[in-house]
Amino acid sequence: MSRIVLGVGGGIAAYKSCDLLRRLTESGHDVRVVPTATALQFVGQATWAALSGQPVSADPMDNVHEVPHVRIGQDADLVVVAPATANLLAKAANGLADDLLTNVLLTARCPIVMVPAMHTEMWEHPATVDNVATLRRRGILVIEPAEGRLTGADSGKGRMPEPTEILSVVQQTLGRPDGGLDLAGKRVVISAGGTRESIDPVRFVGNRSSGRQGYALASSAAARGAEVALVSANVDLPVPAGVTVIPVVTADELKNEVLSRAPSADAVVMAAAVADFRPSSAAEHKLKKGDGAPAVVLEPTDDVLAALVAVRPDRQVVVGFAAETGDDRTPWLELGRQKLARKGCDLLVVNQVGEGLAFGTEDNAAVVLDRDGTETVVPSGPKLALAHVVWDLVRGRWVG
Ligand code: CTP
């Protein structure tokens, strides 16, 4: 159990933080809610107090004999501010302390996670951009807002990520030994999911990839401070907090989106299952059973990983994935070693697949092969745990 302070800024997304609070307490955490005065106009004191089981105030002068403005911050294992308004980010960046929450932000020495939510114009204003940069420089995790519906009819960047995704960031930050943002300032591109190639307007050639491992890689990189672009092929999972998702369908679209972003990336991770072949032409109209079995002629797609390796800038780390079943002659891990040599990437994450293994499951076991010959065995565990090992190894290559 950790002691968490949930700071709530004065934005409409405060209502979503009730759900976040519930999830935090249900995960066994002891949560103290510290709203701003404006937040209390959106969601009242009684709601926060009932859901947290703790007293709630926005004013440092309430129960002043307990010196709450110092004690709450000092005692916390983690502070998460959701929503963090433009005003709250500005106050925090400038060290103002005119209510209980801003005092807590100055007295806390634990990891601080800020989850901005505001209109696009406010998020993009140079003042906010500067304040966010200042906070990040000081080691605060400021999560990128999501894109989508904002207050009213408009939509754009500025939406608060979903509570489940904020909870995931909180848990990951608490679970890391230093809670540190060791990927801050790094840009990473990740591909996830499985591509689909049309046979006709309703049918496609696809594969069983769920995208979970790629999404776990994206979530973990964002939680460690990286700027993450996730090229996502046909995945039905929630957008991880702080991650920019670029949806694609086919191998060709995936290739274009990955290769256009790769030149400025510090790491590219190809977790997607990319079709090796596609129908050389897709029928314009739905094929009819009465016309007999169609002769589908396949042609090869481009190998994105090979293209990445061929043009990669200095110090960019390129990571491939290989799902292997092994065959009568060669065990799965040996096939992985041969693939690493063939593909020329820096790291290859090899996992054994087959009935009940890896595809669509929550857990994954793998061996990460490094081109320097090191092999890291990752025992069966959550895909998020494997993702963190991959980032540890990528980081080792940057600093090594
Ligand atoms: N990959 C890619 N482009 C493709 C096919 C695969 O970039 N057209 C990437 C995958 O994202 C993965 C790695 O290459 O990171 C290995 O994929 P895999 O399908 O195992 O490789 P293949 O070269 O197709 O190997 P094989 O069919 O011989 O197992």
Q: Which residues are catalytic?
A: 207
The whole-angstrom separation of Cα 136 and Cα 125 is: 17
Backbone angles phi, psi at 36, to 5 degrees: -85, 170
Last residue of a domain, one of 156, 179, 202: 179
Phi-psi region of 145 (alpha: psi -120 to 50; beta: other; left: phi over 0): beta
pLDDT at res. 362: 73
CA 212 to chain CA centroid, Å, is: 11
Considering the domain architecture, whether residues 280 and 243 belong to the same structural domain is answered as: yes
pLDDT at res. 326: 85
Is the bond leading into 126 cis (omega within 30 degrees of zero)?
A: no
Considering the domain architecture, whether residues 101 and 197 belong to the same structural domain is answered as: no
Considering the domain architecture, whether residues 259 and 370 belong to the same structural domain is answered as: yes
Ligand 1: centre distance to CA 321 (Å)? 7
Ligand 1: centre distance to CA 150 (Å)? 39
Considering the domain architecture, whether residues 345 and 279 belong to the same structural domain is answered as: yes
Rounded (5°) CA angle 69-70-72: 75
pLDDT at res. 382: 92
pLDDT at res. 214: 98
- Per DSSP, 202 falls in state T
Q: Are 298 and 277 in contact (CB under 8 A)?
A: yes
Last residue of a domain, one of 145, 179, 213: 179
* CB-based pocket (< 6 A), ligand 1: 251, 270, 272, 274, 276, 301, 303-305, 320-322
Considering the domain architecture, whether residues 218 and 138 belong to the same structural domain is answered as: no
Domain membership of residue 98 as a residue range: 3-179
Question: Which mean pLDDT values do the consecutive 10-residue runs of the chain (400 residues) have?
Answer: 97 97 98 98 98 95 88 96 98 98 97 96 97 96 89 84 96 86 96 97 94 97 96 96 96 98 98 97 92 92 97 96 90 94 96 72 88 95 95 94
CATH of the domain at 99: 3.40.50.1950
Last residue of a domain, one of 179, 204, 231: 179
Considering the domain architecture, whether residues 221 and 120 belong to the same structural domain is answered as: no
Query: If we measure between CA atoms, which residue out of 195, 346, 221 comes closest to residue 275?
Result: 195
Considering the domain architecture, whether residues 218 and 139 belong to the same structural domain is answered as: no
CATH of the domain at 276: 3.40.50.10300
Number of domains in the chain: 2
* Residue with CA closest to ligand 1 atom 18: 322
Considering the domain architecture, whether residues 98 and 56 belong to the same structural domain is answered as: yes
Backbone angles phi, psi at 138, to 5 degrees: -85, 5
The whole-angstrom separation of Cα 179 and Cα 301 is: 41
pLDDT at res. 355: 64
Ligand 1: centre distance to CA 273 (Å)? 7
